Amino acid sequence: MTTDTPSAVLFCCDHNSIRSPMAEALMKKLVGTQVFVQSAGVKSDHDIDGFAVAVCQELDIELSKHKVRSFEDLEDWGERLDSFDLVVALSPTSHRRITELTKGHAVDVEYWETADPTGAGDNRTDKLAAYRAVRDDLIANIKQRFANKST
């Protein structure tokens, strides 16, 4: 993992409905406008997850208006993958896919092992705890990786 601060970061996961939009929103809150931040998924076939919205709302982060997008959606909307200095993959599937898509481009790719909270817990309390754990892990990773940029 490099310590250079990129000017544009893309977070990615499987569906862009939990981990990557949380990371995008948390990065924006912690770093502000010093770094351009986006998120995407291998697929864009889910809506934003309600539990992700809830645990971000606890930190006054608005996630309910997030529009899920895939890598292909980004390209269709004019966001070229090679315009990012750094792509942070938050799932094994997204790591494999983004590595393929950025092969031959000057884009750094990092993998942050991040739990998928969707299967955790049998009740709302347990599910929220799992989502909070993911949120808090993302905060810790962002602070560690972008320590010189966090506010």
- The residue that leads in pLDDT, 150 or 43, is 43
Q: Is the pLDDT of residue 2 over 50?
A: no
- Report pLDDT digits (tens) over 119-140: 898 899 999 999 999 999 999 9
As a whole number of angstroms, the distance between CA 51 and CA 17 comes to 10
- The residue that leads in pLDDT, 118 or 78, is 118
- Report pLDDT digits (tens) over 60-90: 999 999 999 999 998 888 888 889 999 999 9
**Domain residue extents for the chain:** 8-145
For the chain, percent of residues with pLDDT exceeding 90: 77
Instruction: State the amino acid at position 23 in one-letter form.
Output: A
pLDDT of residue 82: 87
The predicted model gives 4-18 an average pLDDT of 92
What's the fold here for domain 8-145?
Rossmann fold (3.40.50)
- Report pLDDT digits (tens) over 38-63: 999 999 888 999 999 999 999 999 99
- The residue that leads in pLDDT, 20 or 149, is 20
How many Cα atoms within 13 Å fall on the side-chain side of residue 95?
10
As a whole number of angstroms, the distance between CA 89 and CA 98 comes to 8
Task: Find, among 74, 93, 90, 70, the residue nearest to 82 by Cα.
Answer: 74
pLDDT of residue 5: 78
The alpha carbon dihedral of 96, 97, 98, 104 has a sign of positive
